[in-house]
């Protein structure tokens, strides 16, 4: 792995992340950076290189983009693979909805801010490399959530270089998080800082978005690898051996019934920055387990 947590913390989740992109007709393919008065603040962000300038789509633009998108929508996208209880590597869970219903029309239909930040607020400290319109080709960003901080990592594809730590925030600096389902595959997350500024990120997978929100809001119990039993460790080793070498490190969650869910993300062939989720459920001995009501 190209980055490891410090000795005094546990890695809970690592997933790809970049600023989200609008999907409603007027804002399709666009993103803006706003202050609470909806002023554009891109020029005020220190150290940020120039980026693309967006404007609301005209009716002609919208029609053209809808036509092009129809070809993509017609291709089934499997973005969530759940392992069979018996231990198979993964099985299709079904097609993912293209988008949900707008939850905030003012921020998803009439406008599409991916940063909402007053002067001096924490959201303004996130790195510009999160913007796909600014970062160099072949460069990607991940977010890593540990037991004590949230980090933004920079990764250069096709190299063995160590990941760059672009930014980090203590867990106390994060007020809440919310999965924003009005997106191409329901994989957007809005992270709100303690000062109420926020950013909206695309995580590449609706499962990653859901898990990140659950971890940040404390609605699930994440487990460090060191908390696994010997039998569970052996089961995880077999599980990961069945996955491609490109699989991300597994994450562990204890469900309400006490069984453990193991999840690993694998880059999807369906498109860039999309991921499939493979998972297993196991008991304390590492044997396959059935979910109880309320677990999933």
pLDDT for 127 beyond 80: yes
pLDDT at 66: 47
Asked if the structure places residue 204 within a domain, the reply is yes
Q: What is the pLDDT of residue 77?
A: 32
Quick one: which of 12, 21, 76 has its CA closest to 52?
A: 21
- pLDDT tens, 178-192? 999 999 899 999 999
CA neighbours within 13 Å on the CB side: how many for 62? 12
pLDDT of residue 71: 36
Pairing of strands 251-254, 260-267: antiparallel
Residue partners of 30: CB distance under 8 A and separation at least 6:
21, 22, 54, 55, 56, 57, 112
Q: Which of 53-62, 118-127, 168-177 has the lowest mean pLDDT?
A: 53-62
Length of the chain: 296
**What do you get for the CA distance between the two ends of the chain, in Å?**
29
The residue range of the domain holding 57 is 11-282
DSSP code at position 288: B
Burial of 184 (0-12, 13-18, 19+ CB in 10 A): buried
**Tokens representing 146?**
């540990």
The closest of 82, 217, 79, 70 to 145, measured between CA atoms, is 217
Q: Are strands 32-34 and 113-116 parallel, antiparallel or unpaired?
A: parallel
In a domain, 272, yes or no: yes
The 10 Å CB-count burial string (b at 16+, else e) for 129-164 is bbbbbbbeeeebbbbbbbeebbbbbbbeeeeeeebb
pLDDT over threshold 50, residue 250:
yes
Token readout for 80 is 């969530």
Query: Is residue 296 assigned to a domain?
Result: no
User: pLDDT band at residue 296, thresholds of 50, 70 and 90?
Assistant: confident
Q: Residue 162 and residue 74: Cα distance in Å, rounded?
A: 38
Asked, for residue 176, whether it belongs to a domain, the answer is yes
Residue 293 lies in a domain: no
Distance CA 238, CA 278 (A): 13
Give domain status of residue 288, yes or no: no
pLDDT at position 161 is 80
Distances (CA, A) of 175 to 49, 101, 106, 166: 29, 25, 22, 21
Instruction: Judge whether 169 lies within some domain.
Output: yes
Q: Which DSSP symbol is given to 173?
A: G
User: What's the pLDDT score for residue 219?
Assistant: 87
**pTM for the predicted model, two decimal places:** 0.80
Residue 289 domain-assigned? no
**Which helix or strand (DSSP H or E) is residue 140 part of?**
strand 139-146
pLDDT at 261: 95
- What is the number of other CB atoms lying within 10 angstroms of the CB of residue 75? 9
Would you tell me how many other CB atoms lie within 10 Å of the CB of residue 51?
Answer: 17
3-state secondary structure of 233: helix
pLDDT of residue 135: 94
pLDDT, tens only, 219-246:
888 898 999 999 999 999 999 999 999 8
Number of domains in the chain: 1
Residue-wise pLDDT for 84-111, tens only, equals: 333 333 333 333 444 678 999 999 999 9
Whether residue 29 has pLDDT greater than 80: yes
Is residue 71 packed enough to be buried (19+ CB in 10 Å), middle (13-18) or exposed (0-12)? exposed
Is residue 81 very low, low, confident or very high in pLDDT (cuts 50, 70, 90)? very low
């Amino acid at each position: 792995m190209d980055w490891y947590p410090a000795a005094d913390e546990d890695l809970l989740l690592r997933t790809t992340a970049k600023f989200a992109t609008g999907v409603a007709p007027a804002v399709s393919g666009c993103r803006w950076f706003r202050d609470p008065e909806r002023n554009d603040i891109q020029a005020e962000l220190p150290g940020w290189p120039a980026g693309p300038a967006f404007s609301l789509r005209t009716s002609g633009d919208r029609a053209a983009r809808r036509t092009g998108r129809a070809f993509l929508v017609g291709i089934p996208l499997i973005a969530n693979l759940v392992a069979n209880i018996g231990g198979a590597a993964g099985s299709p869970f079904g097609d993912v909805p293209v988008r949900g219903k707008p939850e905030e029309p003012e921020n998803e239909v009439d406008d599409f801010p991916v940063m909402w930040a007053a002067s001096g607020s924490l959201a303004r400290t996130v790195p510009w490399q999160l913007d796909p319109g600014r970062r160099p080709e072949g460069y990607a960003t991940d977010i890593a959530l540990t037991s004590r901080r949230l980090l933004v990592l920079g990764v250069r594809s096709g190299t063995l270089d160590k990941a760059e730590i672009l930014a980090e925030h203590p867990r106390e600096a994060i007020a809440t998080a919310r999965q924003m389902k009005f997106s191409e595959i329901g994989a957007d997350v809005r992270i709100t800082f303690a000062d109420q500024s926020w950013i909206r990120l695309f995580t590449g997978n609706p499962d990653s978005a859901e898990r990140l929100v659950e971890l940040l809001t404390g609605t699930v119990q994440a487990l460090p690898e060191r908390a696994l039993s010997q039998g569970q460790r052996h089961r995880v080793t077999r599980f990961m051996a069945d996955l491609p070498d490109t699989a991300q490190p597994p994450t562990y969650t204890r469900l309400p019934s006490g069984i453990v869910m193991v999840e690993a993300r694998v880059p999807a062939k369906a498109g860039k920055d999309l991921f499939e989720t493979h998972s297993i459920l196991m008991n304390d001995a590492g044997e396959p387990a059935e979910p109880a009501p309320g677990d999933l």
